[in-house]
């Protein structure tokens, strides 16, 4: 865990005061801050000239983040729908097999036997009707 830091205002030559940080060691961010010299940018105030560019970068970042969230949500939805399609396909296959089994001639004969119907032993014959009779 990092240690607590505090700042002490120390006067420097002239009437200006500078912020001096007291730390037990150096961190990555303090070294980066020293290299970039961020204090010099804000000594005279906030640089308004860079505001449109900064806002544009922030807007692009927000669009990028929202696009990532949308893509993740869409991926989750696709996975859910694919699972549902696989379940429905399995149900369809099972029902189709059941219907094929139930429509076999031997199964139909067994079921209608309870109703008192018998399977015909004579083959079917074709009825021919003359055109004059019709």
pLDDT value at position 85?
98
41 in the same domain as 67: no
- pLDDT tens readout for residues 34-48: 888 777 777 777 778
User: Domain total for the chain?
Assistant: 2
40 in the same domain as 53: no
24 in the same domain as 14: yes
Position 126 in a domain: no
- Residue 33 pLDDT exceeds 60: yes
Q: What percent of the chain has pLDDT over 90?
A: 43
pLDDT value at position 7?
62
94 in the same domain as 56: yes
- pLDDT tens readout for residues 61-111: 999 999 999 999 999 999 999 999 999 999 999 999 999 999 998 899 899
66 in the same domain as 33: no
> How far is 90 from 96, CA to CA, in rounded Å?
10
Q: What confidence tier does 54 reach under pLDDT thresholds 50, 70, 90?
A: very high
70 in the same domain as 40: no
Position 131 in a domain: no
Domain that includes residue 34, residue range = 1-45
What single string gives the DSSP state of each residue in 94-126?
HHHHHHHHHTSHHHHHHHHHTTT-----SPP--
Q: What confidence tier does 10 reach under pLDDT thresholds 50, 70, 90?
A: low
Is residue 21 a contact partner of residue 7, using CB atoms and an 8 Å limit?
yes
What single string gives the DSSP state of each residue in the chain?
-PPP-EEEEEE-SSS-EEEEEE-SS--HHHHHHHHHTHHHHSTT---GGGHHHHHHHHHHHHHHHHHHHHHHHHHHHHHHHHHHHHHHHHHHHHHHHHHHHHTSHHHHHHHHHTTT-----SPP------TTT-
Beta bridge partners of 9: 19
Position 124 in a domain: no
110 in the same domain as 57: yes
CA 131 to chain centre: 69
69 in the same domain as 15: no
57 in the same domain as 31: no
pLDDT value at position 45?
75
56 in the same domain as 11: no
60 in the same domain as 4: no
């Amino acid at each position: 865990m990092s240690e607590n830091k505090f700042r002490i205002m120390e006067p420097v030559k002239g009437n200006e005061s500078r912020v001096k940080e007291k730390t037990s060691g150096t961190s990555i961010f303090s070294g980066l801050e020293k290299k970039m010299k961020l204090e010099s940018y804000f000594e005279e105030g906030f640089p308004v000239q860079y505001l449109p560019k900064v806002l544009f970068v922030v807007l692009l970042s927000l669009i990028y983040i929202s696009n990532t969230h949308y893509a993740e949500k869409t991926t989750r939805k696709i996975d859910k729908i694919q699972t549902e399609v696989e379940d429905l396909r399995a149900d369809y296959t099972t029902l189709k097999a059941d219907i094929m089994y139930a429509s076999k001639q031997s199964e139909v004969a067994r079921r209608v036997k309870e109703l008192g119907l018998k399977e015909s032993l004579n083959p079917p014959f074709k009825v021919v009707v003359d055109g004059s009779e019709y």
